[in-house]
Amino acid sequence: MSQRKAYRSAILHSIADPRDVGIEASYAYFEDGLLVVEDGKVLDVGHADTLLGKFSDADLTTYSDTLITAGFIDTHIHYPQLDIIGAYGEQLLEWLETYTFPAERKFEDPEHATRLAQVFLEELLRNGTTTALVFGTVHKQSIDAFFSEAQKLDLRMIAGKVMMDRNAPEYLRDTPESAYADSKELIERWHGKGRLHYAVTPRFAPTSTPEQLALAGQLFQEYPGLYMHTHISENKQEIEWVRGLFPERSGYLDVYDHHGLIGERAVFAHGVHLCDDECQRLGETGSAVAFCPTSNLFLGSGLLNLDKLEECGVRVGLGTDVGAGTSFSQLQSLNEAYKVMQLQGKKLDPFRALYLATLGGARSLYLDDRIGNLQPGKDADFVVLDYNATPLISRRMAQATTLAERLFALMILGDDRAVKETYAAGVCRHRK
């Protein structure tokens, strides 16, 4: 028989898009809250005084000076780039040649892939991230290793083998046919198994021939619930390159659109330099953009226009983009996101930030019926954040008088040190 568990703490979660309902109606907060979990799902959430009697049989854990919220969702990250995080000096295209491709070559070895998948998942959990949309390498064994390790931890993860048949070193190239066949084999083996989902993953337009993109588009339509995961309009040189490679297409997004790589469950990383028409098209097709602030600043790519995307109805999630991104922590992504907005004369309200890191990510992935907040019936994926994580955070919290201030201080000053515990499907997978 499964044990019913209850967690008493301050509890905050996003319940709607602040753009639709306003900031105040976008979240629920219980100063003295209770989260009740059974069979890996949320059974109830609310005020402790009303729920404690009803669930007096539950095994109770009581915290102090903590905030429980939904597990963070990372809508764009590369597990094979773990060991090149913080590599000096280059912008996108040189960075790929100098650091990324040699690091990805090592995933030909399944033992290396398994080791890195273990460390990677541990690092996600240390940072409170319970779901991620993940790039592998061109090798199908990279994804077998990743999904095997994610399955052991019963995590909700989405990943795919990179498709790349040109403009990359010979040792990292597949062909249109082998990419299609290998991806299909992985889909049959993993897609829909437990909490795992597959993403068709052409790296970006420059590294795929039109033939490969066409087969990727075909595959994306072949199975229900598949994802499409790629990069777009991150860097100005990259955009010029795409223009030269696909002169017959009207723009970068049109390359993907033409090949059937757009729509619900299509997630495009970056989109820093998208034009108005492209934002419109992403919105009307139900596609999503992963906002990757630490990466966009680190590689000098540019400042995302979040407001424009949201005004066009584009679903936006938050991505770390490790290894171009510089932290696994979505609190740190929000810290940098705030500065990206500041540099454009705009603000990022802390509750809108929370939405981006949780429910907004879930909506981008069409998983908001299962994750993204703590409503009854959802997966019990949650984090316990520590208001006393460091002496400085503790001092800052003592000065804060409102929930908004405390949340903002956590996202500006917090990182993995602020994550006291991480639960996935009701099981504690990280404890500091």
- Is residue 234 part of the contact set for ligand GUN (CB under 6 A)? yes
Helices 403-413, 350-357: inter-axial angle, 10-degree rounding: 60
Query: Minimum Å distance from CB 336 to ligand GUN?
Result: 14
Nearest Cα neighbor of 208 from 232, 237, 235 is: 232
Nearest Cα neighbor of 117 from 82, 87, 85, 86 is: 82
| Distance between start and end Cα atoms, the chain | 29
Supply φ then ψ for residue 398, to 5 degrees: -65, -25
Helices 403-413, 330-342: inter-axial angle, 10-degree rounding: 100
E-strand spans in 311-362? 315-318
Stretch that binds Zn ion, among 248-256, 261-269, 299-307, 416-424 (CB under 5 A): 261-269
Binding partner selected for residue 75 from ligand GUN, Zn ion, none, CB under the kind-specific 5 to 8 Å limit: none
The structure tokens listed for 102 are 């040699």
Binding partner selected for residue 234 from Zn ion, ligand GUN, none, CB under the kind-specific 5 to 8 Å limit: ligand GUN
Instruction: Please give the single-letter amino acid code of residue 361.
Output: G
Residue 402 CB neighbours (<10 A): 9
Residue 127 CB neighbours (<10 A): 26
Query: Minimum Å distance from CB 16 to ligand GUN?
Result: 31
Confirm if 161 and 142 have CB atoms less than 8 A apart. yes
Q: Which of 140, 191, 231, 352 binds ligand GUN (CB under 6 A)?
A: 231
Confirm if 365 and 227 have CB atoms less than 8 A apart. yes
Binding track over 267-306 against Zn ion, x by CB under 5 A: --x-------------------------------------
Judging by beta carbons within 10 Å of its beta carbon (0-12, 13-18, 19+), is residue 162 exposed, middle or buried?
buried
CB-wise, 161 or 352, nearer to ligand GUN?
Answer: 161
CB-wise, 139 or 203, nearer to ligand GUN?
Answer: 203
Q: Which of 156, 203, 406, 430 binds ligand GUN (CB under 6 A)?
A: 203
Q: How many residues bind ligand GUN (CB under 6 A)?
A: 11
Q: Which of 44, 238, 257, 321 binds Zn ion (CB under 5 A)?
A: 321
- Is residue 234 part of the contact set for Zn ion (CB under 5 A)? no
Give Cα 218 to chain centroid, integer Å.
25
Q: Which of 179, 266, 324, 384 binds ligand GUN (CB under 6 A)?
A: 324
Kindly give the residue spans of alpha helices, DSSP state H, lying in 74-175: 92-95, 101-105, 110-126, 140-152
Binding track over 243-282 against ligand GUN, x by CB under 6 A: ----------------------------------------
Query: Minimum Å distance from CB 78 to Zn ion?
Result: 6
CB-wise, 14 or 295, nearer to ligand GUN?
Answer: 295
Query: Minimum Å distance from CB 303 to ligand GUN?
Result: 15
Stretch that binds ligand GUN, among 32-40, 44-52, 92-100, 280-288 (CB under 6 A): 92-100
CB-wise, 15 or 93, nearer to ligand GUN?
Answer: 93
Q: Is the peptide bond before 323 cis (omega within 30 degrees of 0)?
A: yes
Q: Which residue has the tokens 């990727």?
A: 216
CB-wise, 182 or 321, nearer to Zn ion?
Answer: 321
Confirm if 230 and 269 have CB atoms less than 8 A apart. yes
CB-wise, 234 or 278, nearer to ligand GUN?
Answer: 234
| Residues from 119 through 178 that contact ligand GUN (CB under 6 A) | none
Q: Which of 8, 78, 406, 430 binds ligand GUN (CB under 6 A)?
A: 78
Q: Which residue has the tokens 């995302």?
A: 304
Q: Which of 30, 55, 180, 204 binds ligand GUN (CB under 6 A)?
A: 204
Binding site for Zn ion (CB under 5 A): 269, 321
Binding site for ligand GUN (CB under 6 A): 78, 92, 96, 100, 203-204, 231, 234, 295, 321, 324
